[in-house]
């Protein structure tokens, strides 16, 4: 009986997580004259703006994160200079910064009434605006660049560390100068990693709502929320969500293709000889290396934190500490509960995939693993569409109440997006447990639940803890789904920071924003330690 429930439960769980995508596909298939009329009206009014703004924003972010991430990865991997080890983990710090917090920080400091322009006008007697408005697509590209470049940096750094040294040494022995070795050997080897990192950064860019709504940038995500919440047009919201989902699916395909090329290159490179030493820098070269590594950290972490600390310190006596405790409690409860559920589901899925690697289980794991690529706006529309259909079909039912007025809906949305994060961490833990150990345990009479508890679990504790932590932090920072699906009077730190910043109360927004940054630092510190251990093992 238990095995039958388990076999049925996992596919049902995967179907529940895939419901947003299924609902959008069903909405697309149910095409009628009304849908065609709405699409024609959007094509004549707002759709071209959404398309071109999203394209130009993605192009700017792709070029910038590719350049910053690859240059910093080359600097810390192929060159040796004083403080290189420090630069390696400093470059990870922007991962702790939610993009919308960086947007609030720069806006507060650089706006017309901000401290920089006010000080310059008073000091030099200047009049009017001294700097262009940051709340535009170029300002959004700046924010995304310095919060998302670590995706490219991490993947490119790993690729260069694993494959470049041997081939660079061979090129040096053949007489190639340093610049040519980097340009023609190292960067082509890291190209799949750079492409994968850019694809991940673009998925985050398209999924963002906090930055684009605060800056007034009309992307697909902003259009989805405007269509649903302002215009109350579900058909238009569904069509925009489906377009966004198709774009993200294309980026996901490109990222997976780049990852496959990356693994192929790694397999070939591991057959090379001994590692070569990084090139030693001296004098002005050290200054240049620190400028290359330091500026992204300054723009993506140091300055935003400093900009948010200023209003926090100035308004310390007026900060809403009592309300902050409530916001923090709501965030912690939602994040903790969602992390436990997502990690428990990931453990069950990974164990089922290991013990019974059937076609069904492989597809279940694959469906769940795609959840993180689905933007929060798409999840919201995909969950609310079937709720609306059910409420229209059964008017006396309480379906809409349970999804929109309780924690069920928001936790459901979190599981759709972040179970994939936990699953990836748990699967990485299982990959380090040889299958032969299961056979050895079976010969000793250990099977079923005892096998998992006595053999697997002791070896999965670290991966499980990492999964809990990653989902916890992602839920704490999640804004789009939380903004729509949170129950009444249960604001979270992310929602409050967004609302206060939107009302130009940036001094009060600094408190929840910096709390989110502090939480985000935890996985960054752990990631830095893991990378150091990996480098030490490689040496």
pLDDT of 104 over the 80 cut: yes
Q: Which residues of 434-458 are buried (b: 16+ CB within 10 A; e: fewer)?
A: eeeebeebeeeebeeeebbeebbee
Among 184-188, 265-269, 357-361, the range scoring the smallest mean pLDDT is: 265-269
| CATH number belonging to domain 319-503 | 1.10.3720.10
268 pLDDT tier (thresholds 50, 70, 90): very low
Rounded to an integer, what distance in angstroms lies between the CA atom of residue 296 and that of residue 102? 13
Residue labelled with tokens 């040496």: 539
Decide if 17 contacts 371 (C-beta within 8 A).
Answer: yes
Better-predicted residue by pLDDT, 495 or 184: 495
Better-predicted residue by pLDDT, 272 or 134: 134
What tens digit of pLDDT does each residue of 80-91 get? 889 888 998 899
What tens digit of pLDDT does each residue of 463-478 get? 888 888 888 988 998 8
Give the CA distances from residue 39 to residues 31, 232, 372, in Å, rounded to whole numbers and listed in that order.
11, 15, 28
Composition of the chain by helix, strand, coil, percent to 5? 80, 0, 15
For residues 182-191, give the mean pLDDT.
Answer: 75
Residue labelled with tokens 């009014």: 45
Q: Which residues are paired to 464 by β-bridges? A: none
User: How buried is 492 (Cβ within 10 angstroms: 0-12 exposed, 13-18 middle, 19+ buried)?
Assistant: buried
Better-predicted residue by pLDDT, 133 or 303: 303
pLDDT of 534 over the 70 cut: no
Q: What integer pLDDT is reported at residue 143 of this predicted model?
A: 95
| CATH number belonging to domain 42-104+130-264+283-316 | 1.10.3720.10
| Residue boundaries of the structural domains of the chain | 42-104+130-264+283-316, 319-503
Better-predicted residue by pLDDT, 29 or 139: 139
Calculate helix-pair angle for 187-207, 234-269, nearest 10 degrees.
160
Q: What integer pLDDT is reported at residue 272 of this predicted model?
A: 44
For residues 240-263, give the mean pLDDT.
Answer: 78
User: Which range scores top for mean pLDDT: 29-38, 212-221, 353-362, 438-447?
Assistant: 212-221
For residues 159-175, give the mean pLDDT.
Answer: 70
269 pLDDT tier (thresholds 50, 70, 90): very low
pLDDT of 209 over the 70 cut: yes
Q: What integer pLDDT is reported at residue 262 of this predicted model?
A: 58
Q: What integer pLDDT is reported at residue 304 of this predicted model?
A: 93
Better-predicted residue by pLDDT, 45 or 266: 45
Average pLDDT, the chain: 82
| CA terminus-to-terminus distance, the chain | 51
298 pLDDT tier (thresholds 50, 70, 90): very high
Asked, colleague to colleague, whether 42-104+130-264+283-316 and 319-503 share their fold, the answer is: yes
Better-predicted residue by pLDDT, 268 or 205: 205
Decide if 249 contacts 80 (C-beta within 8 A).
Answer: no
For residues 95-122, give the mean pLDDT.
Answer: 88
What tens digit of pLDDT does each residue of 331-384 get? 999 999 999 999 998 888 888 777 777 777 777 777 787 777 788 888 888 888
Among 117-126, 257-266, 398-407, the range scoring the smallest mean pLDDT is: 257-266
219 CB neighbour count, 10 Å cutoff:
28
Phi, psi (rounded to 5 degrees) for 282: -150, 155
Q: What integer pLDDT is reported at residue 3 of this predicted model?
A: 57
Decide if 207 contacts 480 (C-beta within 8 A).
Answer: yes
Contacts 24+ apart (CB under 8 A), 19-23: 19/382, 19/383, 19/386, 19/416, 20/374, 20/378, 20/379, 20/381, 20/382, 20/383, 20/416, 21/245, 21/374, 21/378, 21/382, 22/382, 23/381, 23/382, 23/383, 23/385, 23/386
Q: What integer pLDDT is reported at residue 271 of this predicted model?
A: 44
pLDDT of 518 over the 50 cut: yes
For residues 283-293, give the mean pLDDT.
Answer: 90
Q: What integer pLDDT is reported at residue 290 of this predicted model?
A: 93
pTM of the model: 0.85
């Amino acid at each position: 009986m238990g095995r039958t429930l388990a076999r049925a439960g996992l596919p049902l769980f995967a179907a529940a997580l895939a419901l947003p995508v299924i609902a959008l596909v069903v909405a697309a298939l149910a095409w009628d004259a009304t849908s065609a009329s709405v699409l024609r009206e959007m094509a004549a009014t707002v759709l071209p703006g959404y398309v071109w703004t999203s394209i130009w924003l993605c192009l700017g972010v792709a070029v910038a994160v590719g350049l910053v991430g690859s240059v910093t990865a080359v600097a810390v991997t192929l060159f040796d200079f004083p403080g290189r080890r420090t630069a390696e983990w400093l470059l990870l710090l922007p991962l702790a910064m939610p993009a919308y917090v960086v947007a609030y920080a720069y806006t507060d400091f650089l706006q017309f009434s901000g401290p920089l322009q006010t000080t310059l006008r008073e000091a030099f007697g200047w009049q009017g605006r001294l700097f262009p408005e940051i709340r535009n697509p170029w300002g959004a590209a700046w924010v995304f660049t310095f919060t998302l470049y670590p995706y490219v940096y991490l993947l490119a750094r790993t690729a260069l560390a694993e494959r470049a040294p041997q081939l660079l040494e061979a090129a040096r022995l053949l007489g190639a100068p340093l610049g040519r070795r980097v340009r023609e050997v190292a960067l082509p080897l890291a190209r799949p990693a750079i492409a994968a990192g850019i694809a991940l950064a673009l998925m985050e860019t398209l999924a963002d709502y906090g930055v684009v709504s605060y800056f007034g940038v009309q992307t697909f995500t902003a259009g989805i929320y405007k269509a649903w919440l302002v215009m109350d047009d579900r058909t238009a919201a569904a069509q925009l969500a489906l377009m966004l989902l198709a774009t993200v699916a294309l980026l996901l395909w490109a990222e997976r293709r780049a990852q496959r090329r990356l693994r192929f290159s790694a397999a070939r490179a591991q057959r090379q000889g001994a590692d070569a030493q990084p090139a030693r820098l001296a004098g002005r070269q050290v200054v240049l290396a620190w400028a290359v590594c330091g500026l992204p950290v300054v723009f993506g972490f140091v300055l935003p934190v400093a900009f948010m600390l200023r209003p926090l310190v100035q308004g310390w006596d007026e900060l809403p500490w009592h309300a902050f405790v409530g916001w923090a409690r709501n965030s912690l409860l939602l994040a903790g509960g969602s992390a436990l559920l997502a990690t428990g589901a990931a453990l069950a899925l990974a164990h089922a995939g290991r013990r019974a690697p059937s076609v069904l289980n492989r597809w279940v794991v694959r469906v769940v693993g795609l959840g993180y690529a689905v933007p929060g706006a798409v999840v919201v529309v995909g969950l609310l569409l079937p709720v609306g259909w059910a409420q229209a079909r059964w008017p006396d039912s309480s379906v809409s109440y349970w999804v929109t007025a309780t924690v069920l809906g928001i936790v459901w949305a979190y599981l759709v997006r972040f179970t994939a994060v936990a699953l990836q961490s748990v699967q990485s833990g299982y990959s380090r447990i040889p299958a032969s150990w299961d056979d050895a345990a079976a010969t000793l009479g250990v099977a079923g639940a005892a096998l998992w508890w006595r053999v697997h679990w002791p070896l999965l504790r670290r991966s499980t803890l990492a999964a809990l932590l990653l989902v916890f932090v992602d839920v704490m920072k999640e804004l789009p789904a939380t903004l729509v699906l949170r129950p009444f009077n249960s604001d979270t730190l992310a929602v409050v920071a967004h609302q206060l910043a939107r009302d130009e109360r940036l001094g009060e927004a600094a408190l929840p924003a910096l709390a989110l940054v502090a939480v985000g630092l935890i996985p960054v510190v752990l990631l830095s330690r893991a990378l150091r251990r990996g480098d030490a093992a490689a040496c």
